[in-house]
Amino acid sequence: MFLLTITINAFKVPNRLDRTDYLFKNIYLGIALIIIFSVACTVSEYSDAPDLFSAQLSAALLFICMSIPIIITKIRFSIARLHDLNRTGCWIIPIILLLIFTCIPCFIPEILLLLWPSTKGSNRFGEEPPKSKKLFNPIFFFTR
């Protein structure tokens, strides 16, 4: 039952996400991506594929398939952060298009979302999120 609760809460995103929560949830997602990349590299290294290309292709496909839930969760966190800035989730579309079709590094929109101050009080997306007290707790990702 505990594992089911953790899984459900991991993909539950509030309407608004303040800067601190956004930062730490992104750190946890980054750690998860590093672990997935390590697994994919290990699969590539110890694969019984007849040539190097097919081993690397299988590792790349494994990495892409395992990263899709994390990318979706990252987009949902960014939309919740935009809601905290009193912006609609549609603002994520130009950000994604800029990242795909230009040479803008991925960290520039992240820094902007982190540095832009939150809307004080309630806005059209809900009440102000409560302040975090358990910032360095790894379970924090699953419980908020």
Mean residue pLDDT of the chain comes to: 77
Percent of the chain residues topping a pLDDT of 90: 0
pLDDT tens track for 74-115: 888 888 888 888 888 888 888 888 777 776 677 788 888 888
pLDDT tens track for 37-48: 888 888 777 777
Residue 144 has pLDDT above 80, yes or no: no
Query: Alpha carbon of 68 to those of 21, 33, 81, 112, 140: distances in Å?
Result: 21, 10, 20, 24, 22
pLDDT tens track for 14-68: 678 888 888 888 888 888 888 888 888 887 777 776 776 777 787 888 888 888 8
Dihedral, CA of residue 87, residue 23, residue 92 and residue 68, to nearest 10: -150
pTM of the model as a whole: 0.74
- Interatomic CA distance for residues 24 and 143, integer angstroms: 13
Q: Which two tokens stand for residue 80?
A: 């919740």
